[in-house]
Structure 1
Amino acid sequence: MAKETLDILSERLTPNRLRAHLSLPGDWQPFPAAENREAWSALPEAQRRELVGQGEAWHDYDWAPIRATTFLDFRRSGNRSRFEDMHFTRRHALHHLVLAECAEGQGRFLDAVINGIWAICEESFWGIPPHSFAPLHPHAGLPEVTYPVVDLFAAETGALLAWTRSLLGARIDADPHTAIVTDRIEHEIRARLINPYRNVPWWPWLRCGNRPDNNWNPWIHSNLIACILLIETDPEVRLELLSRCVAGMDVFLNGYGTDGGCDEGTAYWQRAGASLFEALEWLRLASDGELAVWDLPLIREIGLFLPRMHVSGDWYVNYADGMARVHVDADLAWRFGLRTGDAALSAHGAYAASRNVALGRVDE
């Protein structure tokens, strides 16, 4: 399959255009903060009750530390599930507690949110053991905290904390005893993500030799861009970082054929094409639409790949190591189609949403 013109994002999203159209640092608030009660009170009552109920289920969650020996499981026995169960449960809990506080707005969940933030900030590594490496101690089974690794789940964790600060930062800061928590979030995101991304010239997921980049590239960039837009206050540093993100996503796109097909399998679309959409959507939102690139043919083809691979129900054409049954992130698919103006993709997102509701599945 023929390749699309190289570096299509860098040609469109130049540093001069980023400088001209991006919102000022600190001004970007794409979702209403918790103190905007008018916005949160506009939620349908059933949805509000659901969000509060989900938070209540995690209100008394025990933020027990993850032991070093649990991290070592992967090196010692190959087991990764014990660590990952604890790792992802913590983030799942914080996610629900944040939304519950936003929906209710009474402060009932704030201490639990702060416990979650602090516990996650205390972790030595925000990623998972298979993604950890220690250059100074190559045989180590524990993370080297002086060499932060930017992996999929470190980036996801940073974005979770950045959005938490965006939504609840003013409420946390209102108590002088806890105002330090939002500073801690900023410090950790800078130390673990922004500075390593800026200062390390080469990450394996950014340039894989002669091989096209895989889903790690847009998956990480979508979360990094959110962190940069929400955390970085220096306009020149922010411009430098976002320009690098744009160039980095071009590395990913340069490996695509003009048909937009995902070589990793249909199941990976949600962490490849859909993550690319999410990254580009943050730039669109941060520029009042001036940096939209939905008219680029390759972007549209990447979106349409999903409905083209659909067979029936949850079944999709599978190849590579992609599963045949896929639980589609309906919201991302619907919004992707809405932005590109592709009715087939937005309709597929709506179809997936109806199935998720009917089967009791929730997108997160």
Structure 2
Amino acid sequence: MKAHAILVLTAISAVFASAPVAAAQPPDAARIEQIAGWLGDGTYSPTPRIDDRAFWTSVGQSGRFADVAREAAAESKRSPAALPDDLYLEYSRNGNRSRYEAVYFRKLKAYRVLVIAECVENKGRFLEPIQRVITSYAADKTWVLPAHDSGLENFEGRNITIDLFSSEVACDLATTDHLLGQQLSESTRALLRKEVRRRVFDPYEHAVKDGRSRIGWITTTNNWNAVCLANVTGAALALLDRREERAFYVASAEKYIASFLSGFTADGYCSEGVGYWNYGF
């Protein structure tokens, strides 16, 4: 599973989250059909499924896995990190984003550790803790960070938007479904799919297909475009069964990544700096 850096995002995120948004346009239907012809019948992730024992055995034999195994064993005894309302509201009340984000990213890291450990061991001892975290994510009011939730629209349930990390959570959950498959309970898989659909796929499709929602990063030139497109497309490839539906996400990513690339000057300069350049790519 792809590891993501935990970044301290600057105030540009909050400004961007509330900026006017241009309407997106759907990708060309002929291009979607062409891409569908190239895709396989099944879901896809660059990380092999748990039943690829040669791959996961090699991961387990690496020197770094011992720490992962110990951490997973400890996490399996804990409840998923709680994200209470008061912590979420701190940003809107006093501008503090760090306390909520510390818990948010701790929960995400613990989840990844559990999934990796289960894929390596293949003994089932981490399946229940993994499913507890999935259930916890389904119960969260929003996966969007407080600093990106302009006017508390997501928190109060008035709108569902997609930010850097709600898309990342969706990609991680979708990848889990792809990696573990039927080792997860049917009810857990159904819940996971429902929530990724509701929180990411539906608002994305409404923005691109019919303009019923507006998502600023689809047409922006900063790294939100690249990061969110990668996460949303990765989630679609890992989770959606219909080839034509997956092709829509690939085609739209191909279309809108041009916005990110247009933000670079002729000498390759990125106005956000080297760290953001790296995160975007």
Q: Please give the range of the TM-score, normalised by the shorter of the 2 chains.
A: 0.7 to 0.9
What is the 5 A alignment of 1:29-40? 29-40=45-56
Q: Does residue 63 in structure 1 map to residue 80 in structure 2?
A: yes
Higher Rg of the two aligned structures: 1
What is the 5 A alignment of 1:1-364? 14-24=31-41, 26-43=42-59, 44=61, 46-133=63-150, 138=151, 140=152, 143-172=155-184, 178-200=185-207, 201=211, 202-208=214-220, 213-272=221-280, 274=281
For 1:264 and 1:18, the matched residues in 2 are separated by: 32
Q: Could you say which structure has the greater relative contact order, defined with CA pairs below 8 angstroms and 6 or more residues apart?
A: 2
Structure 2: stretches of 5+ with no match in the other structure: 1-26
Contact 1:71 1:142 in 2 (8 A): no
Higher helix share: 2
Residues 246 and 167 (structure 1), Cα distance of their counterparts in 2 relative to 1, 3 Å cut? same
- What are the Cα deviations for residues 99-123 of structure 1, in whole angstroms up to 9, with x where unaligned? 1111111111111111111111211
Cα deviation for residue 164 of structure 1 reads 1.2
For 1:204 and 1:142, the matched residues in 2 are separated by: 15
Q: CA RMSD in A?
A: 2.3
Cα deviation for residue 27 of structure 1 reads 4.1
- What are the Cα deviations for residues 275-306 of structure 1, in whole angstroms up to 9, with x where unaligned? xxxxxxxxxxxxxxxxxxxxxxxxxxxxxxxx
Contact 1:51 1:103 in 2 (8 A): no
Equivalent residue number for residue 21 of structure 2:
none
Contact 2:236 2:246 in 1 (8 A): yes
Cα deviation for residue 232 of structure 1 reads 1.9
- What are the Cα deviations for residues 240-282 of structure 1, in whole angstroms up to 9, with x where unaligned? 232222111111112323333222111112222x2xxxxxxxx
Where 1:229 maps in the other structure, the secondary structure is: helix
For 2:218 and 2:45, the matched residues in 1 are separated by: 28
Cα deviation for residue 29 of structure 1 reads 4.7
Where 1:79 maps in the other structure, the secondary structure is: coil
Structure 1: stretches of 5+ with no match in the other structure: 1-9, 173-177, 275-364
Residues 237 and 167 (structure 1), Cα distance of their counterparts in 2 relative to 1, 3 Å cut? closer
User: How many residues were matched structurally?
Assistant: 248
Cα deviation for residue 15 of structure 1 reads 3.3
Identity of aligned residues (%): 27
Cα deviation for residue 40 of structure 1 reads 1.7
List structure 1 runs of 4+ shifted beyond 6 angstroms.
none
The normalised TM-score by structure 1 is 0.63
